[in-house]
Amino acid sequence: MSKLVIATRKSRLALWQAEHVKERLEALHAGLQVELLPLSTRGDEVLDRSLEKVGGKGLFVKELENAIAAGRADLAVHSMKDVPADLPPGFVLAAITSREDPRDAFVSSRYESFDAMPPGAVVGTSSLRRAAQISERYPSFEIKLLRGNVETRLAKLDRGEYHAIVLAVAGLVRLGLQQRIRSRLGIDQSLPAPGQGALGIECLAERDDVQERLRLLADPDTAACVRAERAVSRALGGSCTIPLAAYAVMEAGTLKLEALVASPDGRRILRAQSQGKDAEAVGAAAARALKEQGAEAILALLK
Same domain for 60 and 118, yes or no, is no
Same domain for 7 and 93, yes or no, is yes
Whether residue 46 is predicted with pLDDT greater than 90 in this model: the reply is: no
Same domain for 59 and 90, yes or no, is yes
In this predicted model, what pLDDT tens digit does every residue of 193-250 receive, in sequence order? 999 999 999 999 999 999 999 999 999 999 999 999 999 999 998 666 789 999 999 9
Q: Tell me, what CATH number does 19's domain have?
A: 3.40.190.10
Same domain for 91 and 208, yes or no, is yes
Pair type for strands 104-107 and 254-262: unpaired
* Predicted local distance difference test score (pLDDT) of residue 115: 96
Domain final position from 184, 208, 241 = 184
| Domain contains 130 | yes
Whether residue 57 is predicted with pLDDT greater than 80 in this model: the reply is: no
* Predicted local distance difference test score (pLDDT) of residue 169: 97
Whether residue 52 is predicted with pLDDT greater than 70 in this model: the reply is: no
Catalytic residues, by residue number, are: 82
Same domain for 141 and 281, yes or no, is no
In total, how many domains does the chain have?
3
Instruction: Give the separation between CA 231 and CA 254, rounded to whole angstroms.
Output: 16
Alpha carbon 201 to its chain centroid, in Å, reads 14
The answer to whether 75 and 4 have CB atoms below 8 angstroms apart is yes
Domain final position from 136, 161, 184 = 184
In this predicted model, what pLDDT tens digit does every residue of 143-194 receive, in sequence order? 999 988 999 999 999 999 999 999 999 999 999 999 999 999 999 999 999 9
Virtual CA dihedral for 274, 191, 239, 50, nearest 10 degrees?
Answer: 170
Percent of the chain with pLDDT over 90: 83
| Domain contains 189 | no
Instruction: Give the separation between CA 187 and CA 65, rounded to whole angstroms.
Output: 32
What is the number of other CB atoms lying within 10 angstroms of the CB of residue 69? 13
Instruction: Give the separation between CA 260 and CA 258, rounded to whole angstroms.
Output: 7
pTM of the model: 0.91
* Domain enclosing residue 9, as ranges: 3-97+198-218
Q: Tell me, what CATH number does 238's domain have?
A: 3.30.160.40
| Domain contains 9 | yes
Whether residue 49 is predicted with pLDDT greater than 60 in this model: the reply is: no
- Band of the pLDDT at 300, cuts 50, 70, 90? confident
| Residues 6+ away with beta carbon under 8 Å from 41 | 9, 59, 60, 61, 62, 63, 64
